[in-house]
Amino acid sequence: MSDDERETKPFKFVTAGFDARFPHQNQTKHCWQNYVDYYKCINAKGEDFAPCRQFYLAFRSLCPNPWIDRWDTQRENGNFPVKLDS
């Protein structure tokens, strides 16, 4: 297949929008807060509750994968530093 025959599809790059609570360049707290908010949201409203998805998209965009893996492991082991079920 030559370059002329290759079909390109549009790609929309999406990242977390501006949040006035986190106005500075360092987005570590923004990442953390969206991770916590997502799991609090799905624990309160269920995984099918559409507004929870915004938190998911934000933390997946902002947080490095090793952090997410570590936090998931901590949640599974019951030693996550935040209570997510309230």
For the chain, the domains span 27-77
- Residue 1 is predicted with a pLDDT of 53
| Residue 71 pLDDT | 95
pTM of the entire predicted model:
0.74
pLDDT string in tens for the chain (86-residue length): 555 677 777 766 666 666 676 666 777 888 999 999 999 999 999 988 999 999 999 999 989 999 999 999 999 999 999 998 86
How many other CB atoms are there within 10 angstroms of residue 84's CB atom? 16
Distance of CA 32 to the CA centre of its chain: 9
Q: For domain 27-77, is the CATH number 1.10.10.140?
A: yes
Whole-number Å distance between alpha carbons of 62 and 9? 25
